[in-house]
Structure 1
Amino acid sequence: MTVALETRSLEKSFGGLRVTRDLSLKVAQGARHALIGPNGAGKTTVINQLTGVLRPNSGRILLEGSDITDLSVHKRVLRGLARTFQINQLYADLTPLETIGLAVSERMGRGGDWWRRMGTRDDVNAEIAEILSRFHLLDVMTEPTATLPYGKQRLLEIAVAIAAKPRVLLLDEPAAGVPESERHDILAAVAALPRDVTVLLIEHDMDLVFSFADRISVLVNGGLLTEGAPDEVARDPQVKAVYLGEAADA
């Protein structure tokens, strides 16, 4: 197995509270890997450590075999690691067209010149149009982001992450807060992510998890409870005890 993303004995504490406990996790290249767990399990804290928002107290983080534990958020993005957030981190006054244009231009190192490049470079324009089409945003591409339905905003955030052309993408609850009527597009967008992008999904929605993941890791109290194929995890008595309050087999 070629490992795309790995943690080794990761630990994170806030004062006397241990939030990540000796976490060793491997995400295979090209995998559709889900990290699940009850509220308070520490999932977002793990993601924040992986992306450099939080620094672990101990342990290491490796991206495609290279140690990135001490790298900044920006340098991790340049290495090919991107993420979405539970709460959208978008420019409310920009349109989807402008937002994707900025993301593509930033990736090319020409963020300060993005308006000209959008208007004069056919390859840039074609990439922007392809991303907008893939994420069902063409019909709203000239509307301010703040006016978009929430499901469209979630799609736009995933589109921005893909515009960075990551090799590893972390999706932090992409369906959170999306009305049932808009969830289909989110599910379809996640399912259609490029196979050359390794995806680690953090999600409470078990329908999304089990329709998407080929491997699942279960986090409880900051530590790894179990992991395996979706059908194995679904049958695991420890997982049933955590999620359903059922007594685990002795």
Structure 2
Amino acid sequence: MVRLHFDVLTLFPEMFTGFLSSSIVKKAHEKGIVSTSVVDFREFSTDKHRTVDDTPYGGGSGMVLKPEPLFRAVEHLLQDEPERPPIILMTPQGERFTQKKAEALAEHRRLILICGHYEGYDERIRQHLATDEISIGDFVLTGGELPAMVVMDSVIRLLPGVLGNESSAKDDSFSTGLLEYPQYTRPAEFRGWKVPEVLLSGHHQNIERWRRQEALRRTWERRPDLLRTARLTEEDRAFLRKLEEGSGE
């Protein structure tokens, strides 16, 4: 049974061919955990020229996506749907995409992603069609296709059965509110650089303690802003105080 279905509305469906047929995303589809429908919303335009954009009222540069094709496309997709799923605009004006947002989206059974182009969307699309607006960062891209792929990849890997090791996603950066601890694999020594002894000890409690402290250290060094909202124990806080004092282990 499909756990999550994506509908992607785009003017460039060919951009998703490689993405959907590669790596973890491909495996998730092969396992039947995820399904995706890529829709060219130009097919839902209302004139013989298949027009999807027009000049902005009031003047200005660029072209604006018209409401009719997107409303018609979404209504067609949802004609047999008893409940309205999240309908997400990919836009630099949207909510900043985070791991928590990915986790929230992974709880749904269906997601509709709308990939914009040109100067932007007619405001009525924002007000009366979309339920969410998502941005992957404070920069502007040519269109919403790449952000849509980012969202899909981030959400898909959270679904049960997608990753080989179910604990992998839980240990990722941001999943615990911290950056991920350093990882090592064989050989135990490479060009004189050795794997920390604790990871070779087989002592699981010490390993977990080391990993937690290294996650705290990395977050403190690189993204201290995350520590303001991370769930920290008294032991965590004591370790952070040592780092601030310059005496961290």
Which TM-score bucket, shorter chain as reference? under 0.3
Structure number with the bigger relative contact order (C-alpha 8 A, sep ≥ 6) is 1
Greater fraction of residues in strand: 1
Larger-gyration structure (1/2): 2
User: TM (normalized to structure 1)?
Assistant: 0.26
User: TM (normalized to structure 2)?
Assistant: 0.26
